Structure 1
Amino acid sequence: MRLEHTSWTPPPKDPDQPPAEVRRILRLFRPYRGRLVVVGLLVGASSLVSVASPFLLREILDTAIPQGRTGLLSLLALGMIATAVMTSVFGVLQTLISTTVGQQVMHDLRTGVYAQLQRMPLAFFTRTRTGEVQSRIANDIGGMQATVTSTATSLVSNLTAVVASVVAMLALDWRLTVVSLVLLPLFVWISRRVGRERKKITTQRQKQMAAMAATVTESLSVSGILLGRTMGRADSLTRSFAEESERLVDLEVRSSMAGRWRMSTIGIVMAAMPALIYWAAGFALRTGGPAISIGTLVAFVSLQQGLFRPAVSLLSTGVQMQTSLALFQRIFEYLDLRVDITEPAEPVALDKVRGEVRFEKVGFSYDPAQERPTLDGIDLTVPAGGSLAVVGPTGSGKSTLSYLVPRLYDVTGGRVTIDGVDVRDLAFDTLAQAVGVVSQETYLFHASVADNLRFAKPDATDEELEAAARAAQIHDHIASLPDGYDTLVGERGYRFSGGEKQRLALARTILRDPPVLVLDEATSALDTRTEHAVQQAIESLSRGRTTITIAHRLSTVRDADEIVVLDAGRIAERGSHSELLERDGRYAALVRRDAQLTPAAP
């Protein structure tokens, strides 16, 4: 079977984010709306309390001090202190609640993406680099942390502060307020331009981070290190990584500096506003306009200065939110992936699985557009407890046929049944309990031997682990290790030989005790002596089970009840070993080829 390994590319999207996408982001916070209401109340209370301080200051300057009213002065001073204390308390509480909500949203996103990827068909992972998948979960969701934990609250807080400050400024003097806000529309327009620019750069940056993560995952795995060193490509890989990193540096600098001068100009103008306010007040007094008291002027400048911080923060928050939309887009692309293999709405229950497997006019194509289907018109029956061997040249569809029983792919024609029930009508858990798969490429986690075995049965006892290992003829080797079943297997099991890993995989399957067993070329990568040991373990595992064996070496399938020869996705021959040899057809030719390729025993 040939699988094309290419990087998955999402469909292009409009750079201007549609309102529907923004509404979708807001829906992420819906489960926590109660706590968000509390945050809103705290924000409002904090803003109102902070706005009271300039009015207290005006009374101190215009009334308490000029009139020598010490009692009033003390009361107003205590009021300003109380205002500062209350503002700080409200700020701490709103930060605590909003950060908790934000982290919960992050948790929901991470879990949602991981669960979605768990439901994706095998074809998705053959087209997508592992590092890119990891980057979506780590870098993209991690990059949204500031947005979901603090930006939303900052937006509400600063918006409330701006509104409250503007209302208070209007109450003090509407003319000075007009002078203060005349350039605000220009500032909003500039910030939106900067936000769109940073959003485009952020999209490019995240793609580059995903490419770097994929490079690291592939080249710094055990297999990647072995390949790089044995091929003498270590320096070349380092140079390639350096080039990738240099591109990321450029994007990071561009992202940081995008619109920086324009936003700095806004800061300069707003910082210069107090001078403009003093000039406007003095000019109005000189031209005979209504006088403005010192207290009002100081209170107004205090409000205007108080407006400066949330206004600039609000504009920066708008830029940050537009930037974060690029990250949300990438996450939503994964959440919106179509799940081809879904669990039935009303699954059929199998009380006791006998293990009869049927292929009824089965057809399958990896791509609907391909001219010739991978499998075409396959009719097979494997009785409960029987054995079927599938052989054939490379690309004939052997492995594809084995993938259809555990439903790693769905048939595109016909059906596959277990005990007369279409596998598409079975719950995933039921199917996983019924069918065990041992493939040529054994995957072991970087954990202990016991943990790897218990992946099949988390509640297995030590006695059950040992019994499974004995049946797979690997117990004696495990027991000889210094740490026994607590021995770490290393990344992908590299502390064990190929035959030992295969026997660990067999022990893991024995622990599950499935009625149907699929062996996908489980011994093809082993030497003859190791293959013999593993084959003995397979025979022990297969006893009393329905077994479907995808064979590369024909010596392992001579005792199968029926042998099927596939060619170009169709059944070319079928029968027992002796029957097929007598016909002297395709199977006999494969046996002769196998004999020529297999070295004589010493």
Structure 2
Amino acid sequence: MEFIKKVIRKIKDGMLQEMFEETKWMYTYAKKYKFQIFFYIILGIMTTVMGLASSVGSKYLIDAVTGQDKGNIALIAIFIVAMGLFSIGINAVTTMISARINIRVNNEIQAEVYDKILVADWISMKEFHSGDLLNRLNGDVNTVASSILSWIPSLITRSVQFVGILAIILYYDPTMAVIALASAPVMLIVSKTLMKKMRDYNKRMRQVSSEVMSFNEESFQNIQSVKAFDLVEFFSNRLRNVQQNYKDVFLDYNKFSVYTSSFMSVVGMFVAYACFGWGVYRLWTGHITFGTMTLFVQLSGQLSSSFKSLVSLVPSAISATTSAGRIMEFFKIKNESKLEEEKVKSIQNNTQGKGLSVELDDVEFSYDATKTVFKNANVVANPGEIVALVGPSGEGKTTMVRLLLGLINAKDGQAIIKDINGVRCKISSATRRFFAYVPQGNTIFSGTIADNMRMVKPDATDAEIVEALKAACAYDFVKKLPDNINSKVGERGGGFSEGQAQRISIARALLRQSPILLLDEATSALDVATEREVLRNIMNMGYARTCIVTTHRPSVLTMCDRVYRIDSGVVCDIGEEEVEQLVRDF
């Protein structure tokens, strides 16, 4: 009882507790495939039993050949061959089963992690680099998926093999079994130290692997800037520094693995020599036959190998639980807040096409306690209006857009949308369905122009797509392309200028026909005449729309119904004279 209590205390302590929780999480996926895994285990046990039977058969075959035992040589030989063929067949079946389960589990975990990333709290997810996300989504998920199928079945089948071999050796010579188990106490003594070091190394390897992937992913995303600033050599040298860090950690881990493996090999070698020596002595003294000697040589090696295989499950378990822990970090992040969902549904059903107002009442927001982005902010935007947000860079225009999209939430005050019936609803991720958004920069995906457009409206007709492109002043260049709206687009809008990519993005937002349109510096790459034409087209599409734009260029401010300046944490409505002054100063 004291021993059991000690084991429980160990499990509850630190690393083992973490591994226990991570293993429980992995089990939630394993139990979904319990019947397939059970069948896989049965096949593994059958293969093990056939291997042991074949070894015993070889003993009787040799004894029959040497005349030390009477037996049907042909029958024994057929039995051995049959066991071998059955084993090959079962291995083929288990390989196919494992492939099926592995890909299913991998896809299931990957999809759940991907979905979690998409709905997780936006600020919390900003702590992860996109390269690290990719590494966890692919590398860590693959490690976990492989282990869910292989670890428990391997533990059971190898345990069966170990017990089976030990039982056979005990039957023929108990002393040989004791010698063969000599390495077990050594492994138990060093296991605690090995487990801690292995887990530390696994965590370090995962981290540096993410660093390499993050660097590559980020540099490829910004390859145009790398070339433009003539930074090819600089980034090439940075890659080598990142690689050197990875190399140092990898070689350190490799050295530890080599030392550990060499130590265990030496222990195993002495055990194997001791077993062989004992077998030779027993054969010399006439206590065993040549067949039994052959069986001992086979089984002693297999017993040592089986025990070593059981021990080798520890590193794979540590690797799997380490990866599981990295994946579980996502599931600990809270989801985006969805507020007043019933009101959101009511507004959606009762006010389609009739427009929505946006109101911010004494709203305060700060990313942390050190700096308030804005305080006591009051903003109103109604259907049929263009409302502008202006101000110096970094003072809160984009933060305001994030607040409207429900990516972040007000620390104080109220941010609401209001329908024509006066129904008010708090802004959150649930109200995002009422918004169409065109952000800064290039947001075009690879595929065709039509593919990009239909992301927001899958059932859109070609005519609807063309109409939206015309409204965004994009169809003039699209119609000149070889395949019109079905022309291919490269990654991040490759093949188009920034202005063309911006107009396609605007067209995509217009196709959605959302009651509120957010343009975050979305016309910055357009000339003034095109910018004004696009805004006029947007408001003349015959759809009740509230348009909110952030801009550094005051050229369109004269078209706006209201202009709000965000500066030094203050949001204020500026009058016509100030707007005219901004236009003159531009």
Q: If the length of structure 2 is used for normalisation, what is the TM-score?
A: 0.86
Alignment-derived partner of residue 449 in structure 2: 449
Asked if the contact 1:440/1:525 (under 8 Å) is kept, the reply is no
Alignment-derived partner of residue 377 in structure 1: 376
Asked if the contact 1:99/1:149 (under 8 Å) is kept, the reply is no
SS at match of 1:563: strand
Alignment-derived partner of residue 6 in structure 1: none
Q: Deviations over 1:54-83 (max 9, x none)?
A: 33334344568537745x332222222222
Q: 1:161 to 1:344 in 2, by over 3 A?
A: farther
SS at match of 2:355: coil
Separation in 2 of the partners of 1:84 and 1:485? 61
Deviation at 1:508, TM superposition (A): 0.6
Q: 1:280 to 1:128 in 2, by over 3 A?
A: closer
Q: Deviations over 1:362-391 (max 9, x none)?
A: 52423352453x333344443444443333
Unaligned runs of 5+ in 1: 1-12, 575-579, 598-602
Q: 1:467 to 1:358 in 2, by over 3 A?
A: closer
Superposed, 1:267-416 pairs within 5 Å as 267-271=265-269, 273-281=271-279, 283=281, 291-342=287-338, 348-349=344-345, 350-353=348-351, 354-370=354-370, 372=372, 374-413=373-412, 414-416=414-416
Asked if the contact 1:355/1:515 (under 8 Å) is kept, the reply is yes
Asked if the contact 1:106/1:141 (under 8 Å) is kept, the reply is yes
Q: 1:498 to 1:53 in 2, by over 3 A?
A: closer
Separation in 2 of the partners of 1:167 and 1:361? 79
Letter in 2 for 1:592: Q
Letter in 1 for 2:111: T
Deviation at 1:244, TM superposition (A): 0.9
Separation in 1 of the partners of 2:188 and 2:340? 51
- Indicate whether 1:19 and 2:20 are aligned: yes
- Indicate whether 1:131 and 2:131 are aligned: yes
Deviation at 1:417, TM superposition (A): 2.4
- Indicate whether 1:518 and 2:507 are aligned: no
Q: Deviations over 1:422-470 (max 9, x none)?
A: 5558884xx3442111233341112221211111112222222212212
Alignment-derived partner of residue 596 in structure 1: 585
Deviation at 1:503, TM superposition (A): 1.6
Asked if the contact 1:363/1:378 (under 8 Å) is kept, the reply is yes
Separation in 2 of the partners of 1:595 and 1:280? 101
- Indicate whether 1:81 and 2:81 are aligned: yes
Asked if the contact 2:26/2:148 (under 8 Å) is kept, the reply is no
Separation in 2 of the partners of 1:216 and 1:36? 38
Asked if the contact 1:43/1:157 (under 8 Å) is kept, the reply is yes
SS at match of 1:557: helix
Separation in 1 of the partners of 2:564 and 2:230? 43
Deviation at 1:33, TM superposition (A): 0.8
Superposed, 1:25-36 pairs within 5 Å as 25-36=26-37
Deviation at 1:45, TM superposition (A): 2.0
Letter in 1 for 2:404: V
Deviation at 1:282, TM superposition (A): 5.5
Deviation at 1:207, TM superposition (A): 1.7
* Over 6 Å off, 4+ runs: none
Deviation at 1:226, TM superposition (A): 2.9
Asked if the contact 1:191/1:319 (under 8 Å) is kept, the reply is no
Deviation at 1:299, TM superposition (A): 2.4
Q: 1:539 to 1:500 in 2, by over 3 A?
A: farther
Q: 1:252 to 1:188 in 2, by over 3 A?
A: same
Deviation at 1:238, TM superposition (A): 0.8
Deviation at 1:511, TM superposition (A): 1.3
Superposed, 1:30-45 pairs within 5 Å as 30-45=31-46
Deviation at 1:472, TM superposition (A): 1.9
Q: 1:383 to 1:536 in 2, by over 3 A?
A: closer
Separation in 1 of the partners of 2:14 and 2:141? 21
Letter in 1 for 2:376: G
Deviation at 1:479, TM superposition (A): 0.9
Aligned length, in residue pairs = 566
Q: 1:461 to 1:340 in 2, by over 3 A?
A: closer
Alignment-derived partner of residue 483 in structure 2: 483
Letter in 1 for 2:585: Q
SS at match of 1:351: helix
Deviation at 1:191, TM superposition (A): 5.7
Q: 1:442 to 1:543 in 2, by over 3 A?
A: farther
Asked if the contact 1:385/1:546 (under 8 Å) is kept, the reply is yes
Q: Deviations over 1:107-157 (max 9, x none)?
A: 122112211111134334544432222222233334556534544443332
Deviation at 1:595, TM superposition (A): 1.6
Q: Deviations over 1:304-357 (max 9, x none)?
A: 222233322222232232233322222222232222434767674221333332
Separation in 2 of the partners of 1:230 and 1:211? 24
Alignment-derived partner of residue 508 in structure 1: 508
Asked if the contact 1:502/1:534 (under 8 Å) is kept, the reply is no
Q: 1:571 to 1:226 in 2, by over 3 A?
A: closer
Deviation at 1:32, TM superposition (A): 0.7
Alignment-derived partner of residue 100 in structure 2: 100
Deviation at 1:212, TM superposition (A): 1.9
Asked if the contact 1:356/1:385 (under 8 Å) is kept, the reply is no
Letter in 1 for 2:398: S
Q: 1:285 to 1:43 in 2, by over 3 A?
A: closer
Asked if the contact 1:195/1:323 (under 8 Å) is kept, the reply is no
Q: For structure 1, which segment, 555-564 or 478-487, has the greater mean C-alpha deviation from structure 2 after superposition? A: 555-564
Deviation at 1:500, TM superposition (A): 1.8
Deviation at 1:22, TM superposition (A): 2.0
Separation in 1 of the partners of 2:445 and 2:376? 38
Asked if the contact 1:448/1:489 (under 8 Å) is kept, the reply is yes
Separation in 1 of the partners of 2:528 and 2:479? 24
Letter in 2 for 1:509: A
SS at match of 1:258: helix
Asked if the contact 1:348/1:425 (under 8 Å) is kept, the reply is no
Separation in 1 of the partners of 2:136 and 2:280? 58
Q: If the length of structure 1 is used for normalisation, what is the TM-score?
A: 0.84
Separation in 1 of the partners of 2:210 and 2:69? 68
Separation in 1 of the partners of 2:219 and 2:147? 33
Letter in 1 for 2:524: S
Asked if the contact 1:440/1:522 (under 8 Å) is kept, the reply is yes
- Indicate whether 1:248 and 2:237 are aligned: no
Deviation at 1:265, TM superposition (A): 3.7
Superposed, 1:229-240 pairs within 5 Å as 229-240=227-238
Q: 1:232 to 1:441 in 2, by over 3 A?
A: closer
Separation in 1 of the partners of 2:267 and 2:398? 69
Deviation at 1:24, TM superposition (A): 1.8
Q: For structure 1, which segment, 227-236 or 192-201, has the greater mean C-alpha deviation from structure 2 after superposition? A: 192-201
Letter in 2 for 1:397: G
Asked if the contact 2:386/2:546 (under 8 Å) is kept, the reply is yes
SS at match of 2:67: helix
SS at match of 1:480: coil
Q: CA RMSD in A?
A: 3.1
